[in-house]
């Protein structure tokens, strides 16, 4: 290497490390004018292109550098990072593997390899990759952070928090660590800890719009709607097209009985990318549109994915939720003996599994929320769990059952004709269908302001008569708290003739 090239590279690298990308790039370009195959200049000018988000140019320079020297581990690692950003995950993984063949103790390559494995949903392998980085460098905070994010993705928030707490010993001034802690605390229902973590995040990075949005959700659930609205407004002041902040703002305004403003916020959320079917459903709840025949799949999935970690606690401790017990009591009056096969449609976290398990030789649960099913699987009470929309599941399944249960599920369906017909096709003669609905005193069914459907007794009797069900029981009972009052539901047991 000539003295001129050495001097230019030394100055360029110093500027690059200081973040002066344009000045560094100019010097790397001068090197390439002297020697178009100078490896370091090709490699590092590619890194600058990658830092600017010009991934195609980065790939071009990395490719030229490979032609000069294909045995440099850092080049393969940077190429892998570029491919990962381009969503070319399998190619990125191959680059990291090659980097590690060239340099087995390359900590960053082990971490980046874990990141791409997480993108491929190969979570256990990702964790092993981070742990290899930790073995090589015990105080490498990034490995703890990325393993924590992977554990979050797996729903293992208690374990994730341990990683974030370990990592904060070394990087206490990075907002992302506090945000990650806040998210796990929030998912665990530990709202005070979540609030404190998000506020710490915002002290370090006041422009963290997502932290404001998550705080809005916390304050909304706590009933402090004014504070929740302020957090939404703060998030939107930072990022005016933040779709979820507009969506949450709509929910909060609706709770404040500001219907017109809520509708405007929901429409703005749609403009920013929230699923149109969800928004139409929410606007129908405000009375702006006719209600669809059921809640959109995306609405139900998102609702319960967010709710999963503190679902049981919220229902039982705050809402005094009684539907599982009421259905258990009803079934005990009509199905005293164990049956061969039971199907728990919309099983959620498995609140009904405790009484269904002794009743069933084989118990299957179906739910649209993967997060809910993860919680249900921890009970080890179901023989089989399926993540699917329940009507789609019934169309695909060819099993006959002795009992089908739908506990607090039909509040997301208006027209019940096709669903009940599908249930009938999957029940043996004499088998039971047990379910609950919120009662409507007037219309056959309608979408309430709560975004839950209510159904009339007359409507249910008409379906039973039309489809040939034997109504064994339909009785009104207090099912859960709503505000200061107990809400009543119809607890029903029908038998297939």
pLDDT of residue 314: 55
The secondary structure of 56-123, three-state, reads HHHHHHHHHHHHHCCCCHHHHHHHHHHHHHCCCHHHHHHHHHHHHHHCCCCHHHHHHHHHHHHHCCCH
On whether the CB atoms of residues 146 and 130 are closer than 8 A, the answer is: yes
Contacts of 311 (CB under 8 A, 6+ apart): 304, 348, 349, 372, 375
β-pairing verdict for 469-482 and 401-406: unpaired
CA angle 80, 83, 87 (to 5 degrees): 130
Which residues, in sequence order, are bridge partners of residue 367? 387
On whether the CB atoms of residues 495 and 430 are closer than 8 A, the answer is: yes
Length of the chain measured in residues: 497
**In the structure, what pLDDT confidence band is assigned to residue 337 with cuts at 50, 70 and 90?**
confident
- Provide the CB-side half-sphere exposure for 12 (13 A, CA): 24
What topology does CATH give the domain 3-285?
1.25.40
Q: What is the mean pLDDT of the chain?
A: 93
User: What is the SS3 assignment for 287?
Assistant: coil
In the chain, count H helices and then E strands: 25, 9
Give the long-range contacts of residues 242-248, CB within 8 A, separation 24 or more.
242/209, 242/213, 242/272, 243/269, 243/272, 243/273, 243/274, 244/213, 244/269, 244/274, 245/209, 245/212, 245/213, 245/216, 246/272, 246/274, 247/274, 248/213, 248/216, 248/217, 248/220
Question: Quick check: do 3-285 and 305-496 share a fold?
Answer: no
pLDDT at 315 over 60: no
**Segment 421-479, tens digit of pLDDT:** 999 999 999 999 999 999 998 789 999 999 999 999 999 999 999 999 999 999 999 88
pLDDT at 481 over 80: no
CA distances from 334 to 280, 337, 363 (A): 41, 9, 18
What are the structural domain ranges in the chain? 3-285, 305-496
pLDDT at 173 over 90: no
pLDDT at 311 over 90: no
pLDDT of residue 124: 97
User: What is the SS3 assignment for 488?
Assistant: strand
For residue 175, give both structure tokens. Answer: 């907002």
pLDDT of residue 313: 59
User: What is the SS3 assignment for 413?
Assistant: strand
pLDDT of residue 304: 86
pLDDT of residue 446: 92
* CATH match of 305-496 with 1.10.569.10: no
- A 10 A CB-CB count for 37 gives 12
**Segment 20-79, tens digit of pLDDT:** 999 999 998 998 888 899 898 999 999 999 999 999 999 999 999 999 999 999 999 999
pTM: 0.85
């Amino acid at each position: 290497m000539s003295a001129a090239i050495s001097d230019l590279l030394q100055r360029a690298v110093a500027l690059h490390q200081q973040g002066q990308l344009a000045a560094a790039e100019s010097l790397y370009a001068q090197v390439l004018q002297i020697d178009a195959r100078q490896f370091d200049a090709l490699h590092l000018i590619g890194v600058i292109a990658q830092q600017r988000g010009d991934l195609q140019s980065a790939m071009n320079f990395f490719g030229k550098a490979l032609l000069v020297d294909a045995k440099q581990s850092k080049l393969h690692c940077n190429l892998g990072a570029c491919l990962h950003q381009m969503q070319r995950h399998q190619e990125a993984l191959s680059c990291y593997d090659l980097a590690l063949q060239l340099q087995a103790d390359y900590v960053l390559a082990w971490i980046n390899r874990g990141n791409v494995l997480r993108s491929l949903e190969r979570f256990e392998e990702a964790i092993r990759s981070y742990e290899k980085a930790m073995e090589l460098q015990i105080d490498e905070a990034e490995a703890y952070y990325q393993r924590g994010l992977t554990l979050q993705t797996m729903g293992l928030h208690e374990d994730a928090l341990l990683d974030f707490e370990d990592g904060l010993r070394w990087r206490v001034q990075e907002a992302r660590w506090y945000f990650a802690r806040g998210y796990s605390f929030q998912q665990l229902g530990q709202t005070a800890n979540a609030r404190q973590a998000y506020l710490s995040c915002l002290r370090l990075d006041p422009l963290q719009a997502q932290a404001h949005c998550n705080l809005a959700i916390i304050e909304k659930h706590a009933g402090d709607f004014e504070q929740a609205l302020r957090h939404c407004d703060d998030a939107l002041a930072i990022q005016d097209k933040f779709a979820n902040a507009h969506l949450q703002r709509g929910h909060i305004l609706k709770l404040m009985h500001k219907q017109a403003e809520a509708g405007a916020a929901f429409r703005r959320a749609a403009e920013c990318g929230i699923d149109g079917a969800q928004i139409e459903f929410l606007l129908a709840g405000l009375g702006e549109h006719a209600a669809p025949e059921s809640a959109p799949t995306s609405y139900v999935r998102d609702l319960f994915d967010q709710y999963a970690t503190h679902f049981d606690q919220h229902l039982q401790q705050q809402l005094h939720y009684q539907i599982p017990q009421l259905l258990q009591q009803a079934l005990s009056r009509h199905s005293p003996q164990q049956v061969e096969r039971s199907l728990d449609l919309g099983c959620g976290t498995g609140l009904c599994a405790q009484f269904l398990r002794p009743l069933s030789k084989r118990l299957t649960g179906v739910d649209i929320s993967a997060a809910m099913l993860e919680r249900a699987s921890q009970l080890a009470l179901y023989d089989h769990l399926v993540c699917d929309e329940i009507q789609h599941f019934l169309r695909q399944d060819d099993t006959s059952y002795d009992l089908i249960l739908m506990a607090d599920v039909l509040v997301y369906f208006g027209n019940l004709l096709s669903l009940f017909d599908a249930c009938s096709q999957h029940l043996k003669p004499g088998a039971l269908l047990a379910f609950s609905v919120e009662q409507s005193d007037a219309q056959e069914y309608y979408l309430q302001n709560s975004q839950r459907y209510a159904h009339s007794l007359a409507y249910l009797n008409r379906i039973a008569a039309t489809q040939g069900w034997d109504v064994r029981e339909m009785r009104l009972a207090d099912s859960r708290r709503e505000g200061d009052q107990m809400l009543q539901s119809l607890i029903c047991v029908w038998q297939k003739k």
